[in-house]
Amino acid sequence: MEKGAAPFSDISQAAWFNNVVHTAYTYRLLDGFEDGTFHPQDTITREQAMVLLSRAMTLTGLKAKLPDQAADEALLPYTDAASVSDWALGRVADSIKAGVIQGRSGAKLAPQDFVTRAEAATIVQRLLQLSELI
């Protein structure tokens, strides 16, 4: 784990999660908001989690193995694909193409819904398995 101050104005160096956020930022897994904050107590949406996962797939080598498929093609099976934010579109498609993320309730991606703890555990396990790390 990297030690140092997380580069966000709303995280003190004394916060218990400071080093974790600093490490994730150092490895380019996450960004804060445009105003320089991180919102550490907020819940995250599924699309935010997919962006983080897509970045992690670069580190694990899984992203390099993805099929060359356009984002809109990867999202085609999902009836709510239009609700994916433009800034997240490519990263969401990467998470789907890799098989790390699956839809909720069949053909719904639910990108604006919050990630549950169970979903987080499942997607981390999938990422590790598909990356052949476990």
The pLDDT of residue 51 is 95
pLDDT at 34 over 70: yes
Residues in the chain, total: 134
pLDDT at 105 over 90: no
Average pLDDT over residues 21-41: 93
- The residue whose two tokens read 């099976």 is 77
Average pLDDT over residues 112-121: 93
pLDDT band at 4 (very low <50, low <70, confident <90, very high): confident
pLDDT at 13 over 80: yes
Which of left, alpha, beta for 24 (phi over 0: left; psi -120 to 50: alpha)?
A: alpha
Average pLDDT over residues 1-17: 87
Q: What is the DSSP letter of 115?
A: P
Structure tokens at 59: 């580190």
The pLDDT of residue 2 is 67
b (16+ CB within 10 A) / e for 35-68: eeebeeeeeebbbbbbbbbbbbbeebebbeebee
The pLDDT of residue 110 is 95
Domain locations in the chain as residue ranges: 1-42, 46-130
